[in-house]
Amino acid sequence: MKSSVLSITGITVLGVAFVVLLTTGSAPVVRARSQTGADQCAARLATFDTLDFDVFSNQKWPRLSESHASDIVVTWPDGHETNGIGRHIEDLKGMFVYAPNTNIAVHPIRICSGDYTAVTGIMTGTFSRPMLTGDGKTVAPTGKSFRLTMATIGHWKGATMDHEWLFWDNHEFMRQIGLAH
């Protein structure tokens, strides 16, 4: 079941990324992209690597503005959206409360077309501290580790993203840390 859930999730994420990149790649401006556009794509993908491998994994929150606009919109895996870099940083900090060793160390797929980037990654960590719930309660840590395939699609304006879409399988995450079957 695990491999089929991960396969379905991976196919869904890659399908969404493909559709986004296909539709943006078909615009005349993108087809006529200059070398400057290619250089911009390389820079954006390098920024994404730094974002996940260094800034996110090492919780260097003041540096998040290197990749995120101050008024960024973030769409989370459950579909809710947040506005502003301050709120995004607080949400990211929350992930490290219950899994302080959360880490992204690889981007197996890195795609850029025009003003869009799409990367996949492997997010790992251990549920080793109490998890806060929305109603102010806590869930005791299980000590179980997680390893999730995730994807991020970003829309860029200049050197920073103005919209970021995050994808991972929340049920698989909860199953791996022992909170779902």
Amino acid 62: pLDDT:
97
Amino acid 134: pLDDT:
83
User: Contact 146/99 with Cβ under 8 angstroms?
Assistant: yes
Amino acid 36: pLDDT:
67
Q: Which of 125, 119, 149 is nearest to 51 (CA)?
A: 119
Whole-model pTM: value is 0.80
Q: Look at residue 134 and tell me if it is in a domain.
A: yes
Q: Look at residue 169 and tell me if it is in a domain.
A: yes
Report strand pairing: 110-113 vs 138-139.
Answer: unpaired
- The conformational region for residue 127 under phi > 0 = left, psi -120 to 50 = alpha, else beta, is beta
Q: Look at residue 181 and tell me if it is in a domain.
A: no
Residues of the chain predicted below pLDDT 50: 1-35
User: Contact 68/48 with Cβ under 8 angstroms?
Assistant: no
Q: Look at residue 103 and tell me if it is in a domain.
A: yes
User: Contact 24/114 with Cβ under 8 angstroms?
Assistant: yes
Token pair 């196919």 is at which residue? 11
Amino acid 8: pLDDT:
46
Domain count, the chain: 1
Amino acid 31: pLDDT:
38
Amino acid 100: pLDDT:
98
User: What is the residue range of 75's domain?
Assistant: 2-176
CATH number at 131 reads 3.10.450.50
Q: Look at residue 60 and tell me if it is in a domain.
A: yes
